[in-house]
Structure 1
């Protein structure tokens, strides 16, 4: 990784961490309110809405890093698949909710997924203000090894996550 990629990864991680902190704060506040007013279970309806304020920190990163936006988004979403497989595969092990709804353990998986996505997007997208890339799959100006590592990493992560989820389940 050259310096631009590391700076992009730092920017992406900062944006994702700020968003994840806001999302976690909202989730914990709602959970505390549920403990004070309701039955104390995690409000499962918050799983989607807690990502909305979290994504507001990632939106400027999306706007300013246009160089390889399409392949970077594709790779970042592919890297989130192993996290989703782990969340689904280990759900029975972590389940505390008796009515088979999403448990409190599902929210951290979503926030980790946001961190993975924003960090990878920041590292793989071009520098701020770069010209948009012209290809869905190719990072222009990068070699064959780079593409193998970028696309092979999420594929290997998905294989390992499926193996772990089937071994745990």
Structure 2
């Protein structure tokens, strides 16, 4: 990883962390309101809106880092799948309810997924002001070793998540 990739990863992590912080604040406020008014259970309907604030922080990265944003988006979204598979496996291990309702651990794992995907996007999207990439799968101007590392890491994450799911199930 060169310096621009590390700077992009830091920018992506910061954007994801800011969105996760706001999402966590919203979730905690709703959970406190549920504790005051209702039964005190985590409101499962908040899991979707918990991730929405992140889009406002990741959107500037999308506009500024034009170089490889299409393959970076593809890889970042694909990185969400092994994280979600691991989240469901960990949810089973952490004692998810028998009727398969989401628990409060699911929200934490969604926030981890958000941080992973925004960091991956920031690292792979290329430097500021770069020319747009011309392919959905290829990071133009990058070596073959870079492609093998990126897609090999993604494949390894899929294998590890499948192994975790098999061990938990």
Shared topology, TM-score over 0.5?
Answer: yes
Q: Is residue 41–residue 97 contact of structure 1 (8 Å, CA) maintained in 2?
A: no
Which residue number in structure 1 is paired with residue 86 of structure 2? 86
Report the Cα distance in structure 2 between the residues aligned to 1:59 and 1:33, rounded to whole angstroms.
30
1:35-114 map, 5 Å: 35-97=35-97, 99-114=99-114
TM-score, normalised to structure 1's length? 0.94
Which digits, 9 at most, give the CA deviation of each residue in 1:78-129, with x for residues without a partner?
2111110011222222245465321111111111111111111111112112
Alignment CA distance shift 1:73-1:6 (3 Å): same
CA distance in 2, matches of 1:149, 1:65: 21
Secondary structure at the aligned position of 2:140 is classed as coil
Q: How many residues align structurally?
A: 169
> Structure 1: how far apart are the matches of 2:91 and 2:153?
24
C-alpha distance after superposition, 1:6-61 (max 9, x if no partner):
11111111101111111111111111111111001110000001111122111111
Q: How does 1:127-138 map to 2 (within 5 A)?
A: 127-138=127-138
Taking the aligned partners of 1:96 and 1:37, their CA distance within structure 2 comes to: 24
> Where does the alignment leave 5 or more consecutive residues of structure 2 unmatched?
none
C-alpha contact 1:15 1:57 (8 A) present in aligned 2: yes
Kept in 1: contact 2:92–2:168 (CA 8 A): no
Uncovered stretches (5+) of structure 1, i.e. residues with no partner: none
TM-score (norm 2): 0.94
Show the counterpart of 2:154.
Answer: 154
**Does structure 2 conserve the Cα–Cα contact (< 8 Å) formed by 1:67 and 1:127?**
yes
Counterpart-to-counterpart distance in 2, 1:66 and 1:128: 7
